[in-house]
Amino acid sequence: MKDIRLMKGNEAIAEGVIRAGCDGYFGYPITPQSEVLEYLMATKTKERTGMITLQAESEIASIHMVYGGAACGKRVMTSSSSPGISLMQEGISFMAGTELPCLLLNVVRGGPGLGTIQPSQSDYFQAVKGGGHGDYKMIVLAPASVQEMYDFAKLGFELAFKHRIQVMVLSDGAIGQMMEKVELDEQIQRLTDAEIKQKYPWATTGKTPDRERNIITSLDLNPVKQEIININLQKKFKHIEQTEVRFERIMCDDAEYLFVAYGSSARICQKAVLLGRERGIKVGLLRPITLFPYPSKELAKLAKQVKGMLSVEMSAGQMVEDVRLSVNGAVPVEHYGRLGGIMPAPDEVLNVLENKFIRLSVNTPRLCLGIKKIL
């Protein structure tokens, strides 16, 4: 019989990393993701599986503790929300340069600056384009449900160690705080030190007689060697683009218009698709599950079929740039976004689609109340 629980998104991913065999969590509280740390502390992970849970003195300390744990071949994780993730960028870049696997969670809140604790999607560029210095990428998973918050813990670790890369789960305050039913898997046992030495020969597990010391560093002052390192990284990113793309198609087979949205915005657009179908509008939804690698080829295919695409985001317009690059001018692409922690309603985004592409003069009062300009 399956273990089914009612959980918050933040609690679900915390339970997910425990059951995925995580060795250590290092983090610092910040709304709206503090329940991750609180849940791990309350469940007493050390007694339960041997997993270390530690509240660091800052986000900067947290990411460098993750760096150390990952260098030893351990399954390690940190979580934060937008301002905290910004503080971690140097450490993330160091890990990219040393190809250390780890799991990162960003429960995005509105910005810039301290902004608000309400949900947002304005960290898209930071996540998918490489938020720190240097030419690097992370795999970015975008959950649209509490179940996916749980599922992406295990998937994130699998992808991280498969490709020796950092994996970010890019959530938002709504999914982090909402409660839904979650189906839980059986516990995966943490690897022993002997198993780590066998599976991950690159890890710093101590000098043994049969090999040289493993030295993990992102520093190499020889420009020829540094270029080779970068070229190999780019080859890996290209391979990931070819093999790890994930997306969901919703009513796309006969669609004449298309919403493109991820996370909470995708949930809103899924309802808007149903409303549109009731009005006789053949509209579908393409939901990117991986934001890097991005489902560009699937969007290019759909561009041959539909008359227009609307990128719906809780931002001023970030993912829309990747949508436009994907279709390469083959079809009109528009953006609709709400800012400051405001979430659009399904009928709202459907009316925007109609006004931008079908050019009906249909409007609803909610589009006018208290809003001077709609992005």
pTM for this entry:
0.93
Binning pLDDT at 50, 70 and 90, where does residue 369 land? very low
pLDDT confidence of residue 1: 66
Share of the chain above pLDDT 70, in %: 95
Q: What is the CB neighbour count within 10 angstroms for residue 141?
A: 29
Query: What average pLDDT does the segment 274-299 reach?
Result: 98
pLDDT confidence of residue 362: 44
Which pLDDT tens digit goes with each residue over 252-274? 999 999 999 999 999 999 999 99
Which amino acid, 339?
L
Give the alpha-carbon dihedral of 345, 346, 349, 353, to 10 degrees: -160
Q: What string of H, E and C letters represents the secondary structure of 277-299?
A: HHCCCCEEEEEECEEECCCHHHH
Query: What average pLDDT does the segment 284-297 reach?
Result: 98
Which pLDDT tens digit goes with each residue over 308-367? 999 999 999 999 999 999 999 999 999 999 999 999 999 999 999 999 998 744 444 444
Query: What average pLDDT does the segment 21-38 reach?
Result: 97
Q: Are 106 and 81 spatial neighbours (Cβ–Cβ below 8 Å)?
A: yes
Binning pLDDT at 50, 70 and 90, where does residue 176 land? very high
More confident residue, 192 or 358: 192
Mean pLDDT over all residues of the chain? 94
pLDDT confidence of residue 173: 95
pLDDT confidence of residue 202: 95
Residue 139 has pLDDT above 70, yes or no: yes
Share of the chain above pLDDT 90, in %: 92
Q: Are 169 and 141 spatial neighbours (Cβ–Cβ below 8 Å)?
A: yes
pLDDT confidence of residue 2: 79
pLDDT confidence of residue 373: 42
Report how far residue 304's alpha carbon sits from residue 298's, in angstroms, rounded to the nearest whole number.
10
Burial status of residue 17 (CB atoms within 10 A of its CB: 0-12, 13-18, 19 or more): buried
Which pLDDT tens digit goes with each residue over 84-129? 999 999 999 999 999 999 999 999 999 999 999 999 999 999 999 9
Residue 372 has pLDDT above 60, yes or no: no
Query: What average pLDDT does the segment 277-293 reach?
Result: 97
Ordered by where they begin, the domains of the chain are 3-193 (3.40.50.970), 248-367 (3.40.50.920)
Query: What average pLDDT does the segment 63-72 reach?
Result: 98
Residue 82 has pLDDT above 70, yes or no: yes
More confident residue, 363 or 251: 251
Report how far residue 53's alpha carbon sits from residue 283's, in angstroms, rounded to the nearest whole number.
46
